[in-house]
Structure 1
């Protein structure tokens, strides 16, 4: 089995966040959550027909509607012929993941895929993280004339 580190970006408008969010009650498969970035990666990775069930592990989480310029995660994949020493080529993973996201109109773009040691963990092996917050500010003249501006004012 080979571990892969995946660098990606996404437009988070339609996602409920990065991490799979399953409802309480009977445990559902993580593949059933199409509304998260992690869930979409899990679905895409199933198309490789690996000998194991792939589970994408994120390096960090984001809230609903948040975009990511550069994020990462890892996944373990066993090639169907892994007993013969075969592994998936990183270039193929990159190409096929992007093809899947394009076909499903999912706003995720994979930039890079690397083979890493099985001891590597996307979240715990990270040396640093950087966050950039951008906020939209509405000009006063952009408000509709009948809008109640006091509804958004500080108490």
Structure 2
């Protein structure tokens, strides 16, 4: 039997989703909790990876079990897990349904606070004393939908079979001092969203033009793109199956 887990986490205290030696990861905490509750060695498979410090308001993972789960496993898991990880649902799916490979799209948000806010320090990148031209940032962001190869925004040393991604949404929305970048695609490269945001902020600061942004995409050279913005403003918000 294959079970899916829907969960969320605050990534501040974790070195990303995936288990790594000598550091604490979200996947490690989930494995420990499920193994403890079920009294079996369980290893979950995540829908993807988030980097160190990145948050997820919706994440899915799956695990296999030979017997049906009895009782309120969600309550039991949440009683074991730290407060910065929450399980929402555990539910049965088709045997072949895969948390990672069956995901059709993933959506991220990146949050920028225009000013100072002590209550959002862990969940946004705060920019003060600088004005952003959001209209130009949106013009540049719309160009992302015209391209498939995003090598420019990928970590240089990464083991991937292709740099191609199908971006279906890329837009900035502003409510008062909160500026949020929404982006959806079938897949994302390592560091891709944070590099895109850093380059779009350069457009907003008018360090580069919208035409420059297009040239940067076409260069396929990470050195031409902007900085990788802080992880704390990035949220995995939706996975569609």
TM-score (norm 2): 0.45
Corresponding pairs, count: 119
Match of 2:33 among 44, 54, 60: 44
Q: Which residue of 2 aligns with 1:8?
A: 7
- Quote the residue 1:71 is aligned against: 59
CA distance in 1, matches of 2:38, 2:69: 11
Task: Give the deviation of 1:140 after TM superposition.
Answer: 3.2
4+ runs of 1 displaced by more than 2 Å?
none
Q: Does 1:97 align with 2:43?
A: no
**Which structure exhibits the higher relative contact order, with contacts defined as CA atoms closer than 8 Å and separated by 6 or more residues?**
1
Tell me by how many angstroms 1:106 deviates.
Answer: 4.1
Given candidates 113, 134, 141, the residue that maps to 2:90 is 113
Q: CA deviation at 1:75?
A: 0.9
Q: Which has the higher helix share?
A: 2
In 1, the alpha carbon distance for the partners of 2:10 and 2:74 equals 18
Q: Which deviations, in whole Å up to 9, do the C-alpha atoms of 1:24-62 show, x marking residues without a partner? A: xxxxxxxxx6x1010001110111244x52111100111
Structure 2, unaligned runs of 5 or more? 113-124, 131-225, 227-241
Choose which of 105, 120, 129 in structure 2 pairs with 1:140: 129
Contact (CA 8 Å) 2:37, 2:77: kept in 1 or not?
no
Question: Pairwise CA RMSD of aligned residues?
Answer: 2.1
- Give the structure 1 partner of residue 69 of structure 2: 88
Question: 1:122: how far off?
Answer: 0.2
Comparing both structures, which one devotes a greater share of its residues to strand? 2
Q: d(CA) in 1 for partners of 2:111 and 2:63?
A: 30
- Indicate the SS of the match to 2:54: coil
